[in-house]
Amino acid sequence: MSDVLIPSPTGNTRIFAVVGDPIKQVKAPQLLNKVFTEEGVDAVMIAVHARPEQLATVIRGLQAMENFSGMLITIPYKFATCEFADTLSLAVKVSGSTNALRRNEHGVWEADNFDGTGFVLGLQRKGYELPGKRVLMAGGGGAGSSIAAALLQAGIDRLYLQEPDTVKALELIARLDQHWPGRCEVAQPAHLRSVDLAVNATPLGLSDEDPLPIDLDNLSAGTRVADIIMQPVETRLLREAQAAGHPVHPGSYMLNEQLGCYKTFFGI
């Protein structure tokens, strides 16, 4: 631990947290604490496990700490945490979800969402061109909604949303239609054959016992399969997709690109 954390937190140390349920899969504390050390920033990030019935108490408690500078939000709280912000970015308004909150110099809590930005930058850095592509998105939750908006903004031709909660799916499509009319619809089985990219933005894959979130048998040859799960790095979906001959894109690429966004957002 001594090589990635400040030697000893003091009264001047800025405190950050990542909040979720579960929390054992998160990688942000290790990565950001390493950044703090390398860049000489007197700050530390901790992982906070908040049960649903205690979420408001945990968030408001963190915000009440004068030396607390901001937090990252992970599953399943990206929608619920928006209410704890005073101002929302465009990405949050479109997606309805947030994964980062900060206290600005005026004491105002601002919410943003870098899931979509990080995912798109990760694809682009690997040389994948998005304009004109057709995409299957599994999951219309906090991360999926942000990624859907970013993909449409990056110029994809069509987004097919695979979300078992019909109300959630239609609400997300309605929000996306306000900015990109006619380019997003509920996924149908026949759509799988026509997509260039299939993205898992659900929690399925945190355990090897989880069912596959995407029907690999119905994808056309060459369809790229992406997962946003960070741990395990190689999910069952990615292993089976690669075995079937599909190019794969792990969640670590998204997180790596988000680090730069977090540094700017938190003023690190």
pLDDT tens sequence across 159-208? 999 999 999 999 999 999 999 999 999 999 999 999 999 999 999 998 88
Q: Residue 3: is its pLDDT beyond 60? A: no
Per-residue model confidence as pLDDT tens digits over 73-124:
998 999 999 999 999 998 899 888 899 999 999 999 999 999 999 999 999 9
Residue 1 pLDDT: 45
Average pLDDT value for residue range 123-128? 96
pLDDT grade, residue 6 (50/70/90)? Answer: low
Top-confidence residue, 232 or 16:
16
Residue 128 pLDDT: 96
What's the CA gap between 238 and 250, in Å, rounded?
Answer: 7
Top-confidence residue, 132 or 260:
132
Residue 101 pLDDT: 98
Residue 27 pLDDT: 85
pTM, 2 dp: 0.82
Domains of the chain are 14-114+255-266 (3.40.50.10860), 116-250 (3.40.50.720)
pLDDT grade, residue 234 (50/70/90)? Answer: very high
Residue closest to 73 by CA, chosen among 108, 42, 102, 32 = 102
pLDDT grade, residue 268 (50/70/90)? Answer: confident
Average pLDDT value for residue range 260-268? 92
Share of the chain above pLDDT 70, in %: 97
